[in-house]
Amino acid sequence: MGPIAVTQLLALISLTVALDNGLLKTPPMGWMAWERFRCDIDCSDDPENCISETLFRDMADRLAEDGWKELGYEYVIIDDCWMSRLRDEQGKLQPEPSRFPGGIGKLARYIHDRGLKLGIYADMGTHTCMGFPGTTLDKIELDAQTFASWGVDYLKFDSCYSNPLEQMLGYPLMSKALNATGRPIAYSCSWPVYVGGLPPAVNYSLLGEICHLWRNYYDIQDSWDSLQGIVEWFSNNQDDLQPASGPGRWNDPDMLIIGNFGLSVDQARSQMALWAIMAAPLIMSNDLRNLGNIERAILQNKVAIAINQDPLGIQGRRLLQEKSRIEVYWRPLSHSASALVFLSRRTDMPYLYHTSLAKLNYDAGNYEAYDVFTGSTVRGLNATSEFTLSINPSGVVMWYVYPEKESKQADLPHYRHNKGSQFTFHKANARHHTVL
């Protein structure tokens, strides 16, 4: 590269200001356009689904009116294809006027008036992934100032049509530029996925200083196979990825596809459970105007959300891969609690899985376990007590587990104790079992 690269490299070396604006101490929650609506810009023939201010106003209305905002779903995030094909006379990015006639600033005010926040997309390169104007190194400060002037609250910064040197320079410089605007803007970096997602190519210590969250792996598609591939990659590399995550710095396995076309109900519960265990952003990409009641209940499950939003911010891990194709995931939580997910990778029939908390490395003692998706509770569960779970194919059982002595603590996740369950519990050394 030319002289500009040398100048920017010197700026990078002297970069000591971290992105410390106090945002995203828990994983962000909200809605994003890409997976469901892609780059549909045909507003003549498909006005309800094209990338336009109407779509984002509709989704903001749904978040505000249908109980999402109160649960923490607060970001409405524009992805690629919002821009005009050309910058304006001052060199600034501008929305396509036929699809965003009011401009981004007016859309931001509409969203803010509903108690929500606006996210936007740009690309560290000559063009966005879909061919719209990119943010080259010399445009970083201008674009950051433009976004702040519009009232943007979140930036997803992609990296199509750039090279590793430009990425190494551009991502820290955008962090510094966002800080300099004086507006608190959450910063999502796509940098890791473009260089393989793992150390030594990815410096997660640096990422934790300059970004609030980052995309590690390929885009999710609307299929169970895609979801499984993401979970497998994160689990296989959890020793590198898990320590990088924490309050204000999150690994991002990509969007929630619950409510679209590719997942069964059991698979939808599996994604919600696994994203909660992984302390992943809960960013939906679906059509909130046409969401089924079952999918809505999964996405609005208060205990699953509470587990995801646990203030300790420790990402969970895969504990076991059984020959039976049952996998066990675990996450430590506040107040000596924890979450367990029992995932079936099987495709045949419900599987009876036998285990105990002691086999899952729990300390001796008595526990209670709340089943996140059935609403039932197991009481008097000693660590050595054997229990049996029935897990549906490509489904999960998700438990919120806590020491019995903590069961009355007021600030544990709120839930109702309901009767009825899908598992049986066996007292150790007993000759009978009790169905709870």
Residue 365, domain CATH: 2.60.40.1180
Q: How many folded domains does the chain comprise?
A: 2
Q: Which residue, 306, 387, 323, is CA-closest to 354?
A: 387
Residue 417 neighbours by CB distance under 10 Å: 10
Count each helix (H run) and each strand (E run) in the chain, helices first.
13, 18
Instruction: Judge whether 287 counts as a catalytic residue.
Output: no
For residues 263 and 157, what is the distance between their CA atoms, to the nearest angstrom?
Answer: 28
Task: Give me 119's structure tokens.
Answer: 């996210």
Domain end position, chosen among 308, 330, 351: 308
What is the DSSP track for 352-375? EEEE-TGGGTPPSSEEEEEETTT-
Pair 161, 251 in one domain: yes
pTM above 0.85, yes or no: yes
Q: Is there a domain that residue 358 lies in?
A: yes
How much is the pLDDT for 425? 36
Q: Is there a domain that residue 84 lies in?
A: yes
pLDDT tens for 297-315 read: 999 999 999 999 999 999 9
Pair 107, 184 in one domain: yes
pLDDT tens for 88-132 read: 999 999 999 999 999 999 999 999 999 999 999 999 999 999 999
| Amino acid identity for residue 148 in this structure | A
Instruction: Judge whether 158 counts as a catalytic residue.
Output: yes
Residue 117, domain CATH: 3.20.20.70
How much is the pLDDT for 18? 64
Pair 41, 143 in one domain: yes
Pair 98, 198 in one domain: yes
Q: Is there a domain that residue 10 lies in?
A: no
How much is the pLDDT for 356? 98
Burial class (CB in 10 A: 0-12, 13-18, 19+), 20: exposed
Q: Is there a domain that residue 162 lies in?
A: yes
How much is the pLDDT for 282? 99
Q: Which residue, 35, 31, 41, 38, is CA-closest to 69?
A: 31
Residue 260 neighbours by CB distance under 10 Å: 19
Q: Is there a domain that residue 156 lies in?
A: yes
How much is the pLDDT for 115? 98
Pair 232, 174 in one domain: yes
Active-site position among 123, 153, 158, 254: 158
Pair 218, 251 in one domain: yes
Domain end position, chosen among 284, 308, 332: 308
How much is the pLDDT for 21? 84
Active-site position among 219, 222, 240, 266: 219
How much is the pLDDT for 285? 98
Q: Is there a domain that residue 35 lies in?
A: yes
Pair 291, 383 in one domain: no
Which structural domain range is residue 424 located in? 317-435
Pair 152, 99 in one domain: yes
Q: Is there a domain that residue 197 lies in?
A: yes
Q: Is there a domain that residue 12 lies in?
A: no
CA 335 to chain centre: 24
Pair 261, 323 in one domain: no
Q: Which residue, 105, 25, 115, is CA-closest to 73?
A: 115
Q: What are residue 338's DSSP bridge partners?
A: 332, 401
Pair 330, 226 in one domain: no
How much is the pLDDT for 20? 72
How much is the pLDDT for 6? 46
Burial class (CB in 10 A: 0-12, 13-18, 19+), 242: buried
Residue pair 263/294 in contact by the 8 Å Cβ criterion: no
Pair 369, 416 in one domain: yes
Domain end position, chosen among 283, 308, 333: 308
What are the residue ranges in the chain where pLDDT is below 50? 3, 6-7, 10, 13-14, 16, 409-411, 414-436
Pair 110, 225 in one domain: yes
pLDDT tens for 42-63 read: 999 999 999 999 999 999 999 9
Q: How far is CA 271 from CA 226, 249, 277, 282, in A?
A: 11, 21, 10, 10
